[in-house]
Structure 1
Amino acid sequence: MKVLVSGASVGGPVLAYWLGRNGHDVTVVERAPAPRRGGQAVDIRGVALTVAARMGILEEVRALRTTMRGMSMVDSAGNELMRDEEATISGGRFDSPDVEIMRDDLNAILVRVSGGARYLYGDSIATLDEVGEVTFESGRQGRYDYVIGADGLHSNVRRLAFGPESRFLHHLGTYVSIFTAGNFLGLDHWQTWFNEGEAGGALFSDRDAGEMRVNLGFRSGVIDYDHRDIDQQKRLVQEHCSAVYEAPRLLEAMWKSDDFYFDAMAQVRMERWTKGRVALVGDAGYCASPMSGQGTSLAMVGAYVLAEELDRDPAAAFERYEERMRPFVAANQALAHENPGQGASPESVERAANSITLD
């Protein structure tokens, strides 16, 4: 089969690996001009660990896992309010089999092992039709047996095949940004969390002692903004986060950062993820939001299941994909609502992360 995958973050490369391994011709198109730098710490849990093991990358992923010593919560003046040296909010307990890894480290592994696929950076799908004819923004054209959208919350493939995102996005009341800054606080394998009114954030430093990843976020109703206008997004963060811990230095670093990311905490809910020759994987079809802690695992498992079903019986693949993934997605999306602002219980996360069986 000739398959076009849109998106080269997590779900796209995992899908490309499995389809390529099974002998199919795979092209991955990515709007960014190169693999994206930066990003938050992401988690591989439950059945997603089985996917990583079957790809032969689990030991490498574990070798690059974050090695946090703990976390603290501070007030706006930097006074420590609590400390935990057995777990972190982002990664859970240190004695868990789950793996927390920086997003760009995981992406580098996934792109490398899916090297049999053809990667087209700096391009995107402009048009697609029901028979698999695709025109790219660069002007190139192609015909594919299947087109898979693994292109995130603001999926271009979803918009082209299913309609405007306003039909599918459900805002969860929070916006979040992440960027890299110099480690001017001297954090050593440590997370520092803070909250001030409707705004807050977290600072992480792990393997590179000279830098830290910064999360700044705020609660708000729906904001009308351009998700490709970085300066506008930075102004929103500055407007809402000017009173948080270390705000002057953090906001100064934000304006200098070249790996800034900003988006709403939102879920994607759709009656179907497949239509004609098109299917959606990961956040494009069923984003659970960072509040669930399961976005990466959902993308990895979804890509594995879809590839397995396409290889087994293309005619029945989409129905089987929907049937197998629906309960798993529902269980993991529910995590974001169990205890808003605090996170779901470890027991709930473990149940959801293992609520699908892989053949």
Structure 2
Amino acid sequence: MTHRLTDGTAPHPAPRTTRPAPTTALVPTDRRLAHLTVLISGAGVAGPALALWLVRYGARVTLVEKAPALREGGFAVDFRGATHHTVLRRTGIWDEVHRRQTHMGRQTVVAADDRERVDLPAFFMSGDVEILRGDLSHILYERTRADVEYVFGDSVASLTEDSEGVDVTFERGAPRRFDLVVGADGLHSRTRRLVFGDESRYLRHLGHYVAGFGVPNHLGLHRTARIYTEPGRTMMISNYGGDPTRAGVALVFSSDRADHHRHGTARQKEILAERFAGMAWKHAATALDGLQSAEDLYFDAIAQIHVDRLSQGRVALLGDAGYGATMGGIGTGTALVSAYVLAGELAAAGGDHRAAFDAYEAEIGAYARNCQKSSDRVGPFLAPPTERRIRSRDRVYRVLGSRPMAGLFKKLTERPAGGLTLKNYG
């Protein structure tokens, strides 16, 4: 069975390959997968986390990433509840995540004149521990770079599967053959398109978009954020403490159009400038001034991925590629949990991908979908459509952020994340 995808892009420089060092850092203590070669597409969080576990079980892993280098920055991600705690400890990154956590403080909802309306305590959005996505990605990369062959600046072009393996062609590199392929390449996964069909069959647009970019820290924030909302649009300016001279701007706005994210960066900046023009907040214009020169713009639909199955033949989906939610879906924690389970089931099955993929689906499917559900209403909550809804949301903030409600709120947010007892795969 053959799958090929072309995007008409011009030729690019040769991909950059980081090959395992002669002396590895992750000496396998378990050789159950020593006969297995695995290609992982995507070097965000899910891909390197899976690579770490596969190497521990003895597999030979290649990880291909279309970006020319590891992605920096990004939004903050949090972990909460017993399941997340367990996977962080078993993965061996608990201490490092805590060492590099954001220590984010209060986040304040403000009026147009910057008068404070609602104060949100740190636990409200930061979970038990919070870290910048780019920092987490670096932790996993540093743990695996000596054992995993990383290929940056390239991507999968076609997959041809037979009874013994998968022949893979790349956009730039030479063709190769692997036993298994895992798509961990995000919400708009190329691997998923190649094997499972067009994205339109699986992506559910939730009526909002989110964008983010860096600007000078003109508000002098330090591990705090200020949030301003008008009907259908919200702006947040925050500093997570890493660089006191820089701040991050996050924008959320409503739109029924499901194709804005497909435009190039220049058009995306135009869309944001149009949608946030005339915002009454006294700091909005200054923040938007930094948009045009921003080189780190993130722009995407708030959406979910719903697939019928997480595997087909020798190809499996992991993380956002299989059950993604742009924000609010506990996606990073789910990715770490799912990487642990997928590698563990492969080890338990001795590399038999049919048995392992079925077990992975049975173990993780309902858990991932339940976590995903928490993002269903995140867009209208962050950017309510009317002034009345904004006032109602702020009342909810005020109640849930109060000390008497802190315990209940913590339990509610931990419930989906903690909905799986992790097996011990040895």
TM bucket, shorter chain: over 0.9
Distance in 2, matches of 1:100 and 1:257, equals: 25
Which residue in the other structure is 1:35 paired with? 70
Superimposed CA distance per residue, residues 253-283 of structure 1 (whole angstroms, 9 cap, x where no aligned partner): 1221211110011010111010011000000
Distance in 2, matches of 1:170 and 1:218, equals: 17
Q: How big is the alpha-carbon RMSD for the aligned residues of Structure 1 and Structure 2? A: 1.8
2:120 to 75, 84, 96: 84
State yes or no: 1:227 paired with 2:262: yes
1:252 to 268, 271, 289: 289
Give the Å deviation of 1:12: 0.2
1:69 to 100, 105, 108: 105
Distance in 2, matches of 1:68 and 1:357, equals: 29
Asked whether the 8 Å contact 1:65–1:100 carries over to 2, the reply is yes
Give the Å deviation of 1:56: 1.6
* Equivalent residue letter for 1:268: I
2:191 to 137, 154, 157: 157
Which residue in the other structure is 1:135 paired with? 169
Give the Å deviation of 1:48: 2.5
1:286 to 289, 302, 323: 323
Which residue in the other structure is 2:44 paired with? 9
Give the Å deviation of 1:216: 0.9
Higher Rg of the two aligned structures: 2
Give the Å deviation of 1:55: 1.9
SS in structure 2 opposite 1:256?
coil
Asked whether the 8 Å contact 1:38–1:180 carries over to 2, the reply is no
Which residue in the other structure is 1:95 paired with? none
SS in structure 2 opposite 1:254?
coil
State yes or no: 1:20 paired with 2:85: no
Give the Å deviation of 1:227: 3.1
Q: How many residue pairs align between the two structures?
A: 352
Asked whether the 8 Å contact 1:38–1:179 carries over to 2, the reply is no
* Equivalent residue letter for 2:113: A
1:145 to 179, 187, 190: 179
Unaligned runs of 5+ in 1: 93-97
Distance in 2, matches of 1:288 and 1:319, equals: 23
SS in structure 2 opposite 1:32?
coil
SS in structure 2 opposite 1:200?
strand
1:104 to 130, 134, 138: 134
Distance in 2, matches of 1:21 and 1:107, equals: 18
Give the Å deviation of 1:229: 1.3
Percent identity reads: 41
Distance in 1, matches of 2:213 and 2:345, equals: 37
* Equivalent residue letter for 2:133: R
Asked whether the 8 Å contact 1:335–1:348 carries over to 2, the reply is no
Distance in 2, matches of 1:82 and 1:269, equals: 35
When normalised by structure 2's length, the TM-score is 0.79
State yes or no: 1:272 paired with 2:322: no
Give the Å deviation of 1:205: 0.6
TM-aligned CA distance change 1:12 to 1:2, over 3 Å: same
Give the Å deviation of 1:86: 4.9
Give the Å deviation of 1:226: 5.4
1:263 to 300, 303, 314: 300
Distance in 2, matches of 1:155 and 1:306, equals: 18
Asked whether the 8 Å contact 1:30–1:123 carries over to 2, the reply is yes
Moved more, 165-174 or 76-85: 76-85
Asked whether the 8 Å contact 2:261–2:300 carries over to 1, the reply is no
* Equivalent residue letter for 1:300: L
SS in structure 2 opposite 1:37?
coil
Give the Å deviation of 1:319: 0.2
SS in structure 1 opposite 2:186?
coil
* Equivalent residue letter for 1:330: R
* Equivalent residue letter for 1:78: D
Asked whether the 8 Å contact 2:206–2:376 carries over to 1, the reply is no
Give the Å deviation of 1:308: 0.6
State yes or no: 1:48 paired with 2:84: yes
Unaligned runs of 5+ in 2: 1-35, 383-396, 401-408
SS in structure 1 opposite 2:288?
helix
Distance in 2, matches of 1:328 and 1:223, equals: 27
TM-aligned CA distance change 1:221 to 1:39, over 3 Å: same
Superimposed CA distance per residue, residues 195-248 of structure 1 (whole angstroms, 9 cap, x where no aligned partner): 112111212212221111210120111232353611111111111122333232
Asked whether the 8 Å contact 2:41–2:184 carries over to 1, the reply is yes
* Equivalent residue letter for 1:61: V
- What is the 5 A alignment of 1:186-205? 186-205=220-239
1:242 to 277, 282, 286: 277
Give the Å deviation of 1:21: 1.3
State yes or no: 1:326 paired with 2:365: yes
Moved more, 335-344 or 348-357: 335-344
